Structure formats: structure tokens, C-alpha cells
């Protein structure tokens, strides 16, 4: 297998956003299959009813075609057509022991990468080749860490207690992929689960946290207002202005957090309306999200958002429809598992500081998997590996210290080899 840092740079060069990780999945499959590691992919690891926020069919198809051109592997790509990306590998150890799940996410952000020469991917020739797509959240490093760990565990399978299942999860951004893969049963039998994220917390490589709290619960919705178009000069009174309803709703939505004493966020990320200058707009489309520090706060914010939209629609004689596009609840990491992981982390070379718990701050759909494993009696936690980042996540100039990759491989390998 290629060196994990080289793999990370390759993934960085060819970033793919949620549900379009076709090339990325092909490369993961190629690396795993070259070693003989059993791996599942395609429809068998997804529940189509839970694949929220899929891109338009023509976008999916264009991305699939691009991956076919880039890889020449239509054999591997065929089962993924339509967005069935990601894969699940399984390594059976020779010794008895638990079923350990290691989960990494593989998608990129819809962000254009910086082109300035002082941005390292530009300087060293691995900047994104895909327009408006960039690994600006470190999932390229997660993918590389997952592959590096797979090789190490495969080499040591004669001394591995239990089984390790590696989930390469698609569509984390927008909180979409975990629900689909969980519903398809990829966590079946899991005794413990480790997720991980690089960055998040400022600090040098070597500082690691063995659990996280404060995942925001979040709901992603598309909102469509429908009115009636009419000539804006001759008979505007016969129209029903969907743009006005959407505008009224947008401002109301942004004011929702003011009513909460807990952490609550509402964002209107996009707003498209209208067809021509002299036409009363008959359609408006908003992509919105709500977040809350607890599931209750998020549920209340979502209810308020729907009410704001309904009221705005009524005021302008329009209808409104909501389309769920993603979401995840919060989760609480298992303390006992985190304590054991802290001990392992302290014994891992390269680890200089072990924090027990850190605030996560954003949403992460690993929470869906954490809760699912716990509901079946297993334990789960999310690791945070500092990566010396100085530019915020989801910014076009985001970059990590790649030393976090071998460190992540070492730590995950040790955690998986522990039967305690
Ligand atoms: Zn992320």
C-alpha cells in the first residue's frame, strides 16, 4: 500500500462531496483488495430510504462518469451508481475478542480551495483538481488513517483479538451518511466503536482527546415556497409572490436563536427564487439548518422554523413544503471506554498530551453511530487528534500537519489490538 501521507495527498487532490465519493471509494477498495482484505460496498451498505440530501440525479451521474474516467474501474463503480458510496472492511483476528468498529468519514466540503502559493497543497502540487470541492475538514487524513490502520491490523491479524470492522463512511457533511449505513446494519454486533476527527481543537500533533461532548443536534431542511406567476406590470395582483414569502421567512428564521437561552443556531445557507425581472416569482427555495445544544433545543428550533415558514407562506398566499435533507442528534461518549483509551493513548509513541474530554462544538453524524452502538449494549467514543491547524475548518486555506496521520494510525492500531 502507498504511504498513508501519499494517500492523503491523493485524496486531497481528488475531493468528492457527500454521496459522490466514487473515485475515493474506488481507491479505498483497490488498496484493501490488493492486500486481500474482505470489503463490502454498494447497495448492501446503505438504506435507500435513509439516504437524505442526495444531489440531483444528473450531478450524481456526472460525478460517477468523472470517477470512471479518472480510475477506469467501472467494475468497482457499478454498484455505487446513484450515490451508494463508502465501504466496510472486516479483519478477523486469530484470537477471541470483541468486535471493534473503527469509523472514518471520506467526503469533502463544497468549498473552493485557496490558490495562493503559500497554501501548502498549492506549493507542493496536491491542491484540489475538482472545482468547488476541497478537503477543508481533514476527512482526507481520516481516510488515509483508516487505510493505514487496515494494513497494520491485517499484518498483525495472527495476534489480533476479535474482529475489526472499518467503516469508510460517505456523506458526513450535512449529517447524512451515518443514518443510511446504520440502517443498513453496518454496526451489527459491534461491542465498541471509535470515531475520530483531526483538528477541531487547536494544538500541536501529539495532543489527543479520548472523548468529546457538546455535539450539536442538527436538522437540515430544504424549504420550497410555491406561489403563482403573473405579469408584474399588467396583473401583479393575480400573482402570489413566493420570493416575498421566502424573504419574510429568511429573516424570521435568522431571529429564532434570540428566543433561546441555550446554544441554538439557525442558518439560511442558500435562497433561490424567481425566473425573470418582470414576472411575479412563483417559486422560492431555501436550504436551512437548525442546531441545538440538546436534542430538545434542536427540536424546538426546528418546530419554530417550520412555523415561521408556514406563517410567511400564508401571509403571501403561497404554499410551503419541507424536505428533510439530513440531521443527527447529540451523543454522550462512554466514560469507561474513554478511560481505557486514555491509558492506551498515554502508551502510544508520539502522544504528548492526553485530554479526557473536549467540547466538539459542531455537528458530527458519528453521533448516530455512537447512539446505535450504545442502544445495542456496546460502548463508543469519538477521538479528537490535534493537527496544528491555524486556519478554520471549512475555509479554503485549511491545512493540517500531516504528522497527525502516522500518529492516528498508531493510536487506532493500538486501540484495536487491545482486548480490554
Ligand atoms: Zn469534519
Task: Work out the percent of the chain whose per-residue pLDDT is above 70.
Answer: 100
pLDDT tens for residues 146-183? 999 999 999 999 999 999 999 999 999 999 999 999 99
> How many domains does the chain fold into?
2
Same domain, 72 and 138: yes
Which one of 308, 327, 346 terminates a domain? 327
Same domain, 46 and 172: yes
Same domain, 21 and 108: yes
pLDDT, average across residues 130-141: 97
Grid cell in block for residue 301: 428550533
| CA 403 – ligand 1 centroid, Å | 18
Q: What is the pLDDT of residue 361?
A: 81
Same domain, 234 and 381: no
CB atoms within 5 A of ion ligand 1 belong to 137
pTM (2 d.p.): 0.91
pLDDT, average across residues 273-289: 97
Candidate from 192-196, 360-364, 365-369 with smallest mean pLDDT: 360-364
| CA 235 – ligand 1 centroid, Å | 50
Task: Specify the higher pLDDT residue, 396 or 419.
Answer: 396
Cell 481533514 belongs to residue:
138
| CA 138 – ligand 1 centroid, Å | 6
pLDDT, average across residues 294-321: 97
Same domain, 305 and 207: no
pLDDT, average across residues 360-378: 93
- Candidates 269, 350, 257; CA nearest to 297 is 257
Same domain, 147 and 36: yes
Inform me whether the pLDDT recorded for 219 exceeds 90: yes
| CA 191 – ligand 1 centroid, Å | 24
Same domain, 147 and 108: yes
- Candidates 251, 239, 389; CA nearest to 316 is 239
Distances (CA, A) of 99 to 146, 165, 181, 188, 210: 16, 7, 17, 9, 19
Same domain, 211 and 253: no
d(CA 217, CA 49): 21
Which one of 327, 344, 364 terminates a domain? 327
Burial level of 230, CB count in 10 A (0-12/13-18/19+)? middle
The residue range of the domain holding 170 is 4-215+332-417
Helical segments of 14-73, H only: 22-35, 57-71
**CATH number of the structural domain spanning residue 278:** 3.30.70.360
pLDDT tens for residues 45-103? 999 999 999 999 999 999 999 999 999 999 999 999 999 999 999 999 999 999 999 99
Residues contacting residue 364 through CB under 8 Å, at least 6 positions apart: 172, 175, 195, 197, 215, 328, 382
| CA 271 – ligand 1 centroid, Å | 24
Q: What is the pLDDT of residue 302?
A: 97
* Burial call 23-47: b when 16+ CB within 10 Å, e when fewer: bbbbbbbebbeeeebebbbbeebbe
Same domain, 189 and 43: yes
Distances (CA, A) of 343 to 9, 48, 208, 339, 348: 31, 40, 12, 7, 9
**CATH number of the structural domain spanning residue 84:** 3.40.630.10
| CA 396 – ligand 1 centroid, Å | 14
d(CA 262, CA 257): 9
Q: What is the pLDDT of residue 396?
A: 97
Same domain, 9 and 149: yes
| CA 105 – ligand 1 centroid, Å | 8
| CA 394 – ligand 1 centroid, Å | 9
Candidate from 126-130, 139-143, 233-237 with smallest mean pLDDT: 233-237
User: Using 50, 70 and 90 to split pLDDT, how confident is the model at 420?
Assistant: low
Which of the 8 DSSP states describes residue 197? E
Burial level of 147, CB count in 10 A (0-12/13-18/19+)? buried
Same domain, 359 and 390: yes
Q: Hey, how many other C-beta atoms are within 10 angstroms of the C-beta on 415?
A: 24
pLDDT tens for residues 67-80? 999 999 999 999 99
d(CA 413, CA 347): 12
Same domain, 131 and 222: no
User: Using 50, 70 and 90 to split pLDDT, how confident is the model at 330?
Assistant: confident
Which one of 268, 296, 327 terminates a domain? 327
User: What's the whole-number average pLDDT of the chain?
Assistant: 96
Amino acid at each position: 500500500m502507498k504511504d498513508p501521507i501519499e494517500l492523503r495527498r491523493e485524496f486531497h487532490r481528488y475531493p468528492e462531496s457527500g454521496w459522490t465519493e466514487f473515485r475515493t471509494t474506488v481507491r479505498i477498495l483497490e488498496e484493501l483488495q490488493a492486500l486481500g482484505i474482505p470489503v463490502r460496498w454498494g447497495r448492501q451498505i446503505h438504506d435507500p430510504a435513509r439516504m437524505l440530501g442526495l444531489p440531483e440525479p444528473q450531478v450524481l451521474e456526472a460525478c460517477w462518469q468523472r470517477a470512471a474516467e479518472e480510475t477506469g474501474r467501472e467494475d468497482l463503480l457499478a454498484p455505487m451508481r446513484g450515490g451508494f458510496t463508502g465501504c466496510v472492511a472486516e479483519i478477523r483476528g486469530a484470537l477471541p475478542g470483541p468486535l471493534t468498529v473503527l469509523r472514518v468519514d471520506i467526503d469533502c466540503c463544497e468549498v473552493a480551495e485557496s490558490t495562493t502559493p503559500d497554501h501548502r497543497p498549492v506549493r507542493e502540487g496536491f491542491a484540489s483538481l475538482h472545482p468547488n470541492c476541497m478537503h477543508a475538514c481533514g476527512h482526507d487524513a481520516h481516510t488515509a488513517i483508516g487505510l493505514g490502520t487496515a494494513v497494520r491490523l491485517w499484518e498483525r491479524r495472527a495476534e489480533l483479538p476479535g474482529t475489526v470492522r472499518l467503516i469508510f463512511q460517505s456523506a458526513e457533511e450535512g449529517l447524512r451518511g451515518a443514518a443510511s449505513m446504520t440502517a443498513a446494519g453496518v454496526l451489527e454486533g459491534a461491542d465498541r466503536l471509535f470515531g475520530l476527527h483531526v483538528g477541531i481543537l487547536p494544538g500541536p500533533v501529539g495532543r489527543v482527546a479520548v472523548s468529546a461532548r457538546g455535539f450539536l443536534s442538527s436538522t437540515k431542511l430544504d424549504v420550497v415556497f410555491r406561489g403563482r406567476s403573473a405579469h408584474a406590470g399588467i396583473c401583479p395582483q393575480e400573482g402570489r409572490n413566493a420570493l416575498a414569502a421566502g424573504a419574510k421567512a429568511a429573516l424570521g428564521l435568522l431571529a429564532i436563536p434570540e428566543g433561546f437561552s441555550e446554544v441554538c443556531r439557525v442558518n439560511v445557507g442558500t435562497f433561490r427564487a424567481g425566473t425573470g425581472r418582470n414576472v411575479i416569482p412563483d417559486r422560492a427555495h431555501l436550504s436551512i439548518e437548525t442546531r441545538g445544544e440538546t436534542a430538545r433545543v434542536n427540536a424546538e428550533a426546528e418546530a419554530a422554523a417550520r412555523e415561521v415558514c408556514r406563517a410567511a407562506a400564508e401571509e403571501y398566499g403561497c404554499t410551503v413544503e419541507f424536505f428533510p435533507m439530513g440531521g443527527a442528534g447529540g451523543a454522550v461518549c462512554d466514560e469507561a471506554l474513554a478511560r481505557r483509551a486514555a491509558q492506551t493513548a498515554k502508551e502510544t509513541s508520539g502522544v504528548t498530551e492526553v485530554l479526557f474530554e473536549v467540547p466538539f462544538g459542531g455537528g458530527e453524524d458519528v453521533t448516530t453511530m455512537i447512539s446505535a452502538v450504545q442502544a445495542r449494549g456496546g460502548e463508543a467514543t469519538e477521538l479528537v487528534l490535534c493537527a496544528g491547524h491555524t486556519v478554520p475548518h471549512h475555509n479554503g486555506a485549511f491545512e493540517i500537519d500531516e504528522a497527525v496521520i502516522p500518529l492516528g494510525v498508531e493510536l487506532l492500531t493500538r486501540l484495536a489490538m487491545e482486548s480490554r
